[in-house]
């Protein structure tokens, strides 16, 4: 039996230019600057900065005799398209909020020696034989940036044999490690949090509170970490005041001794806001960082080449090949400058819509004033695709009177309160956070009790939802929030 089927398929394919534009929109300011720099290096037909004697240049092309308007070469290049008087001066962008402050474009680095170098310098003050010196160097090189040796000693013994041709045993390595643990900062070279804290207490003046703290960490670390205070009182036969003093000592120790080393060399991450929102005379004012609107134009030399080709009476094969190359570069330059314009417009339109949608928050800074807002709300308002709004919000920052914020943080789902009104989940999280801050720390609220508190305040949510929000806020369970 012969079957005939007709399948209709509607598909939409993005052009390479559209894909490139989407990528440009997604880039935050610093990455965008790098992308512009790369394009300038790759395309000689594209130049940055403002044209010199621009008015004179514009007039020169507007007065050009146009006696070959319809002339094209075999490759159908319309030279006049590239010589029109309104193309060149318009191929640059300006931003009225660009200032000298925006000229600093380098990423600063912190100076100083590395944490590992700092430890190795201290090793020179200790006495080792040749074998121990190499073991000590290896141990220091194995300490992570937090200050811990997160390896089993037997693994260290094996690695010394395989990589350094040093044959030793665990006992020798442990003896060398004890000397390494005497280095600064206190607690360095520990293999666990318990050992790290005990190493720091060993250097403290042995007061009664310090000795009790060390005894608790030595004998009852598990009880202490789980805040089973009643059991600690019983096991160590102490009063609540004594326990409180010991806990205070422990809380002032450093769980990450390596992180406190100020000379630790690392790249200093600087967030560059893509937008700025200010309150001016009781209203909101939005500006785009000037770095997102670089001044760019088509190279005058490349335009002059086309002009020379247009005016020449004889057009050789070499000239035609040259003009093909020029056309390619000019096409690329024209598209890139237009893409920057579209990127700038898209960023401003999207952020302006977000700002107006969350106007109450930006005027007050109170997160409880954040309205429920999803990507589709903004996409529908500005007539763009959800994916475009996502690209703007996902990696961009805005400088507000309340600090620099990641734009995607303003988006949240909605829930119904007991009045049937839509409220932002961010609002509920803020109230949950405040409820935990105000709780009696001797009897912290369980998730079930927090659910009841929220219900009393008009937010009927389930206990499991409270647990989910609490975890998203990085707040521990009630037992771990308990204080003596």
Q: What is the pLDDT of residues 349-389, one digit of tens each?
A: 999 999 999 999 999 988 878 888 889 999 999 999 998 99
Q: Is a pLDDT exceeding 60 seen at residue 197?
A: yes
> Cα(423)–Cα(275) distance, rounded to whole angstroms?
26
Q: State if pTM tops 0.95.
A: no
Beta bridge partners of 400: 403
Q: Which residue has the higher pLDDT, 145 or 93?
A: 145
Q: Which residue has the higher pLDDT, 104 or 134?
A: 134
User: pLDDT > 90: what percent of the chain?
Assistant: 13
**Mean pLDDT for all residues in the chain:** 78
- The token duo for 377 is 């709300």
Q: What is the pLDDT of residues 434-457, one digit of tens each?
A: 888 888 888 888 888 888 888 888
Q: Which residue has the higher pLDDT, 80 or 35?
A: 35
Q: What is the pLDDT of residues 379-430, one digit of tens each?
A: 999 999 998 999 998 889 999 999 899 998 888 776 766 666 667 777 788 8
Cis peptide bond upstream of 307, omega within 30: no
Cis peptide bond upstream of 185, omega within 30: yes
Residue 380 has what pLDDT? Answer: 93
Q: What is the pLDDT of residues 287-299, one digit of tens each?
A: 999 888 888 888 8
Residue 260 has what pLDDT? Answer: 61
> Cα(413)–Cα(241) distance, rounded to whole angstroms?
46
User: pLDDT > 70: what percent of the chain?
Assistant: 77
Residue 378 has what pLDDT? Answer: 94
> Cα(401)–Cα(365) distance, rounded to whole angstroms?
8
Beta bridge partners of 286: 277
- The token duo for 483 is 């204080």
> Cα(18)–Cα(355) distance, rounded to whole angstroms?
26
HEC string for 436-453: HHHCCCCCCCCHHHHHHH
**pLDDT band at residue 14 using 50, 70 and 90 as cut-offs:** low
Mapped onto helix, strand or coil, the DSSP state of residue 412 is: strand
- The token duo for 362 is 């930006």
């Amino acid at each position: 039996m012969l079957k005939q089927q007709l399948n209709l398929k509607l598909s939409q394919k993005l052009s390479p230019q559209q894909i490139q534009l989407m990528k440009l929109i997604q880039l935050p300011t610093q990455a965008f600057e790098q992308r512009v720099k790369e394009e300038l290096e790759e395309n000689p037909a594209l130049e940055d900065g403002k044209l010199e004697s621009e008015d004179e240049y514009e007039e020169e092309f507007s007065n050009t005799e146009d006696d070959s308007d319809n002339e094209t070469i075999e490759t159908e290049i319309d030279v006049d398209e590239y010589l029109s008087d309104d193309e060149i001066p318009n191929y640059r962008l300006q931003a009225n909020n660009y200032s000298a402050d925006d000229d600093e474009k380098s990423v600063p680095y912190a100076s100083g020696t590395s944490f590992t170098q700092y430890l190795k310098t201290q090793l020179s003050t200790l006495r080792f034989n040749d074998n121990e010196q190499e073991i000590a160097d290896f141990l220091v090189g194995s300490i992570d940036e937090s200050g811990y040796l997160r390896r089993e000693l037997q693994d260290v013994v094996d690695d010394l044999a395989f990589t350094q041709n040093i044959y030793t045993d665990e006992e020798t390595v442990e003896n060398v490690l004890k000397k390494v643990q005497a280095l600064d900062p206190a607690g360095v070279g520990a293999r666990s949090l318990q050992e790290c804290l005990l190493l720091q207490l060993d250097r403290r003046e042995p007061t009664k509170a310090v000795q009790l703290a060390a005894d608790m960490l030595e004998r009852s670390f598990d009880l202490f970490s789980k805040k089973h205070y009643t059991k600690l009182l019983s096991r160590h036969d102490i009063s609540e005041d004594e326990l409180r003093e010991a806990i205070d000592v422990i809380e002032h120790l450093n769980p990450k001794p390596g992180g406190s080393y100020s000379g630790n060399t690392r790249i200093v991450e600087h967030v560059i806001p893509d937008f700025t929102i200010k309150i001016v005379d009781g209203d909101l004012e939005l500006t785009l960082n000037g770095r997102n609107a670089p001044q760019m134009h088509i190279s005058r030399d490349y335009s002059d080449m086309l002009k020379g080709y247009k005016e020449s009476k004889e057009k050789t094969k070499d000239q035609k090949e040259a003009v093909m190359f020029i056309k390619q570069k000019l096409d690329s330059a024209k598209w890139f400058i237009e893409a920057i314009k579209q990127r700038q417009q898209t960023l401003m339109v999207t952020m302006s819509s977000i700002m107006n949608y969350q106007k109450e928050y930006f005027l007050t800074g109170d997160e409880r004033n954040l309205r429920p807002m999803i990507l589709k709300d903004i996409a529908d308002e500005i007539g763009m695709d959800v994916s475009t709004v996502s690209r703007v919000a996902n990696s961009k920052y805005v400088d507000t009177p309340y600090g620099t914020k990641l734009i995607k943080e303003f988006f949240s789902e909605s829930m119904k309160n007991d009045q049937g009104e839509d409220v932002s989940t961010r609002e509920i999280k803020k109230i949950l956070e405040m409820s935990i801050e105000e709780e009696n720390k001797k009897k912290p609220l369980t998730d079930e009790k927090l659910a009841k508190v929220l219900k009393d305040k008009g937010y009927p949510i389930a206990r499991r939802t409270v647990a989910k929000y609490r975890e998203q806020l990085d707040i521990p369970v009630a037992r771990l929030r308990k204080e003596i």
